[in-house]
Amino acid sequence: MQPLFENKKGLITGVFNKQSIAWAISEQIFSGGGICGFSYMPDKPDDERKKNFSRVSKLIEGNPQAVFVHPMDVTKDEHVENLMAVAKEKLGGLDFLLHSIAFAPPDDLNGDTIDTSRAGFKLAMEISAYSLIALARAARDILNPGASILTLTYYGGERPVPGYNVMGVCKAALDSIVKYLAFDLGARGVRVNALSPGPLQTISGRGAGVDEMLGLYEAMAPLGRNITHEETGRCGAFLLSEMSSGITGEILHLDGGYNIMGSPGRMLDQIKAARS
């Protein structure tokens, strides 16, 4: 069997460091022979160390399968369009596009949803949800037939998860966008899906209270454990590859089965023991 991504080229957004889910997926793509370009959040003008650029460039240093690193502020259309121009120049057509971008102002994320500010809501929704539309539209003319777009979501967009707050609202919008884009791009043979992992130790995960969630998932999930970065990378790569060629508009849950539970499951034994 030929490598999963042999002769395949694509664009990866949202890598922040080695713990990023986007990086776990990238590693699987590299191992399958894929060629990738990367975007990163532009550094502030006064940041002489260029921390954002440095984090990504160090990860791919010396890797011939990583052909460029380019800045993109997803709130600016000209940045998105420029990124796609670079991708077209360096990669030609795109076989896959990974959207791994989300943000909410800390004051709004850490407060109750009812206290979300208007400005915070607008910014969180623009970066976390609308950005998928912006990227898909800008990439539309360079997506090859059979190309796959993947975004990252979370169960907090389907059910209230205390602490996830306004980001859950954004993920609900993102989940719906996946389905509408799947229809819009389906006539071109392009697929759009979402991967919904359980809690992982990432920068964004820690901002959303992942430490508290890890124990809950381990206790409640049918598999009785948390997922790993490697598992997430494999599932993401699957959805970006031709192995999932008949799947579009779907949300794949990767959480040890946590999402299927209608009760605390085996946690009930702990609850009973505590009451006895």
Listed by start position, the domains of the chain span 9-275
Strands 251-254 and 9-12: unpaired
Band the pLDDT of 48: cuts 50, 70, 90.
confident
Q: Is 0.85 surpassed by the pTM of this model?
A: yes
Place of tokens 């776990």: 24
Q: Is the pLDDT of residue 207 over 60?
A: no
Is 148 strand, coil or helix? Answer: strand
Angstrom distance (rounded) from CA 44 to CA 81: 20
Q: Is the pLDDT of residue 211 over 90?
A: no
pLDDT at position 205, please?
54
pLDDT at position 5, please?
98
Angstrom distance (rounded) from CA 29 to CA 11: 11
DSSP one-letter code for 113: G
Instruction: Please give the biggest Cα pair distance in the chain.
Output: 68
9-275 carries CATH number 3.40.50.720: yes
Angstrom distance (rounded) from CA 234 to CA 237: 5
Band the pLDDT of 265: cuts 50, 70, 90.
confident
- Residue 68 burial by Cβ neighbours in a 10 Å radius (0-12, 13-18, 19+): middle
Average pLDDT over residues 221-241: 97
Taking a C-beta distance cutoff of 8 angstroms, is the pair 237, 28 a contact? yes
Band the pLDDT of 149: cuts 50, 70, 90.
very high
pLDDT at position 208, please?
54
Instruction: Give the sign of the dihedral formed by CA 154, CA 155, CA 159, CA 164.
Output: negative
- The catalytic site residues sit at 154, 164
**Torsions phi, psi of 235, nearest 5?**
-65, -40
